[in-house]
Amino acid sequence: MNASNPMIPSGNRDSLSEADAWLVLQTLPGMTPERLNRLTEAFAHPADALEAPPDVFARLCGRKAREVLDKDSPVDLAAGIRREASNLGASVITRDSTRYPEPLHEIFAPPGAFFTEGEILAADRLAVAIVGMRRPTDYGRRVARQLAADLSRKGVTIVSGMAYGVDAEAHKATLEAGGRTIAVLGCGLTRNYPAEHKELRQEIAAQGAVISEFHLRAQPRKENFPRRNRLISGLSLATVVVEAAQRSGALLTARLALEQGREVMAVPGPVHTRKSTGCHHLLKQGAHLVENAEDIINALPEYARNMLDNPAQIRVKGLGPEKGDAETITKAAPHPNLTDDENALLRLLENGDSTIEGLTRKRGLPAQEVSSALLRLELGGLVRQTNSGTYERVS
């Protein structure tokens, strides 16, 4: 946010935490990513936006959002939302939290907050989205299942939208393979949509996470799904389209992935069916052609491939060694197996440098490279992130 913007009010906001301010803004009626982005550009702090003059706030966010704030204080609104989430057994993750997935910070207008059933882990940075038609062919179902199972066995988290068809097949195959999977909903967590996937949703939450940026009671409206799709691609290093018509939500997810700087991949299909036209269009536009899981892994960023090549760096339930074994392997692994930059960061952490900014300055690397190296060290059990967002070496 722009800390020098003249629209910033000077009122006292001590009673409203930054986390609660993000939560209230995210869940106000009519709040869209575009409106939230407008607020972050206009105000230095989310609480400042909530203290804006009523006419200014209504102009930026809509009349309905303003009416809610006229009836209840942000503090009371946040407390009520948190109580409802707690009663559901759901967690709230806000943009200021260290638990907020780092990849989402990189997309346009990331959610101010989202709700989750289950748990998002650091290892979920190694994620690939698998999307496609709700009514795929048998070929499409088989391919989706094979790709998801093979990727999950290698330590990749599978992200999809829990819809019928390709989404469901990818989730199910990952669960059967013992891997981690994340489902992103286009409705609130109080809604079971699709209703037939209630049991699948419970299994995903137990072995991964089910998340939604929508208010807990939000209905699965048509306009929600493009927003949902931007999170599917945003959480993932790559988006793989298995089967898709020329106009489909899967192609929208692929376009969003491209805009977010992620890899786009597609599985070719029979030329005589319209269910292949979307994938073939993507391939003509330069998407990576996918025949198997290795094609996907080979197109991932180098740091991700390096992590997948070292099972001791991946501590995911059901994949590779159990946590205790992984810790033993990591500690026993000689430091010559680390890169020069990783060893240098470990030495800097021993000397008390604990923030990405400080490590970037001392090592002379771009912040993104430092962040990626710290993630590899964290997954390897050599460093950990504290509640305050700093890093420390694990003895």
Domain residue ranges of the chain, discontinuous segments joined by +: 18-112, 119-300, 316-393
User: At 35, which amino acid appears?
Assistant: R
* pLDDT greater than 90 at residue 321: no
Q: What is the pLDDT of residue 234?
A: 97
Give the pLDDT confidence score for residue 105 in this predicted structure.
92
Separation CA 51–CA 75 (nearest Å): 12
Which range, 181-190, 345-354, 373-382, is most confident? 181-190
Is the pLDDT assigned to residue 4 strictly greater than 60?
no
Read off the pLDDT band of 376 (50, 70, 90).
confident
Q: What's the mean pLDDT when you consider all of the chain?
A: 86
- The token duo for 83 is 């109580």
Rounded to two decimals, the pTM is: 0.77
The residues, any chain, with a CB within 8 Å of residue 3's CB and separated by 6 or more, are 44
Mapping DSSP to helix (H, G, I), strand (E, B) and coil, where does residue 131 land? Answer: strand
Retrieve residue 357's tokens: 């900014």
Q: Which fold has domain 316-393?
A: Arc Repressor Mutant, subunit A (1.10.10)
Considering only CA atoms, which of 254, 252, 328 is closest in space to residue 290?
Answer: 254
What are the tokens at 377? 């060290």
The CATH class given to the 119-300 domain equals: alpha beta
